[in-house]
Amino acid sequence: MRNKLADLLSGKGIVDNSVLEAIRAVPRHLFLDSSFEDHAYQDKAFPIGADQTISQPYTVAFQTELLQVRPDHKVLEIGTGSGYQTAVLLKLKAKVYTIERQLELFKKTSIFFKKMGYSPKKVIFGDGYKGLPEEAPFDSIIVTAGAPFVPNPLLAQLKVGGRLVIPVGTDEQIMTLFVRKSAKEFEKKELGSFRFVPLLENKN
Ligand code: SAH
């Protein structure tokens, strides 16, 4: 079923073989509640509790491809959620730092990572709008929730040459890629519309 899913994503335009290999390798059904398990290899988003969703596989593959992950790259993920995207990044041999703002999901997914033997460098309960200054700079940053605007700390925490992939917008989001060209210059590309749950600001 995973091979079929990877073939489907390849048909939808995903070309990076390392990304398709990661999709072939990660058992998505284990990241879903058992009631959705049978549908795990459809190209669809599903609820994961706490009003959140596991992203559609195409979206995961599309964003991951844009990051251009290489082994040992330091990657920051905003929105741990089910941990599926984290697992795809780990499969690409990235050093992954991942932030989740919902306590329930943070706890559940932290336990799941341990159980499965997935070892992100850090799983953090916190606010992704701030990034992770103490571990910056990053080779790439991926935001897996819809951001109403581009948080400046995320741009500031990229290496020169680093890439930020972020869906920007409220009702609908435009997938946006920023590449840091120098200390002050960023190249920006807009790459089609998607629908994500919102990136929320912490009230506390
Ligand atoms: N990468 C996840 C996608 C989960 S949906 C996966 O593969 O399953 C997006 C996640 O972003 C949700 O879990 C949501 O709680 C989280 N989120 C929303 N706002 C956030 C913020 N400000 N900081 C960190 N995480 C946030």
pLDDT tens profile 155-190: 999 999 999 999 999 999 999 999 999 999 999 999
Binning pLDDT at 50, 70 and 90, where does residue 67 land? very high
Binning pLDDT at 50, 70 and 90, where does residue 201 land? confident
Catalytic residue among 55, 82, 110, 140: 55
With a pLDDT cut of 90, the percent of the chain lying above it is 93
* Statement: residue 203 has pLDDT above 60: no
Asked if residue 201 is part of any domain, the answer here is no
Mean pLDDT in residue range 119-147: 98
Q: How many CB atoms lie within 10 A of CB 188?
A: 10
User: Which residue type, as a one-letter code, is found at position 146?
Assistant: G
Asked if residue 57 is part of any domain, the answer here is yes
Interval between CA 65 and ligand 1 midpoint (Å): 19
Measured CA to CA in angstroms, residue 111 lies from 63, 82, 85, 118 at distances of 25, 11, 16, 10
Binning pLDDT at 50, 70 and 90, where does residue 74 land? very high
pLDDT of residue 124: 97
Asked if residue 38 is part of any domain, the answer here is yes
Interval between CA 199 and ligand 1 midpoint (Å): 7
* Statement: residue 204 has pLDDT above 70: no
Answer yes or no: is the C-beta of 139 below 6 A from any ligand 1 atom.
no
Whether 140 sits among the annotated catalytic residues: the reply is no
Asked if residue 200 is part of any domain, the answer here is no
**How many domains does one find in the chain?**
1
CATH number at residue 64: 3.40.50.150
* Closest-lying ligand 1 atom to the alpha carbon of residue 81: 13
pLDDT of residue 176: 98
Interval between CA 21 and ligand 1 midpoint (Å): 24
What residue owns the CA closest to ligand 1's atom 15?
102
The domain containing residue 80 runs over which residues?
Answer: 2-194
Answer yes or no: is the C-beta of 128 below 6 A from any ligand 1 atom.
yes
Say if residue 198 is preceded by a cis peptide, omega within 30 of 0: no
Strands 158-168 and 186-194: unpaired
pLDDT tens profile 94-127: 999 999 999 999 999 999 999 999 999 999 999 9
Asked if residue 199 is part of any domain, the answer here is no
* Closest-lying ligand 1 atom to the alpha carbon of residue 105: 13
The pTM is what? 0.97
Asked if residue 124 is part of any domain, the answer here is yes
